[in-house]
Structure 1
Amino acid sequence: MLPIIHASEYYQTSFPGDDRRFRAPDIAIPYTFADYATGSDAVLDAAFNTINGD
């Protein structure tokens, strides 16, 4: 199973001494204009491919 986490509001888990600039996602999915133009969902496709082991 692939857990999908989505934040609908700001949530901070760091502390004042945390000097990391950001936390990169485990799976980065680029979203292109071609995806938008064709109405495809690259994130959903990646999720299905990960679940199905493709």
Structure 2
Amino acid sequence: MARPIKETPILYGEDARRFLERMKNPPKETKEERERRLKDYEAAIKMLKV
């Protein structure tokens, strides 16, 4: 039987401010990074289908 999920902690003060700032401005992915990620994904899918 699965264990119950614990409550999510609430952020206060500076931690909350940093979290909100990161949610508003997520890191950007360059074209090269995206191509590399998709290439790696396709390779992983091929390995799973064998």
TM-score (norm 1): 0.25
TM-score (norm 2): 0.26
**RCO greater where, 1 or 2, for CA within 8 Å and sep 6 or more?**
1
When Rg is computed on C-alpha atoms for both structures, the one with the higher figure is: 2
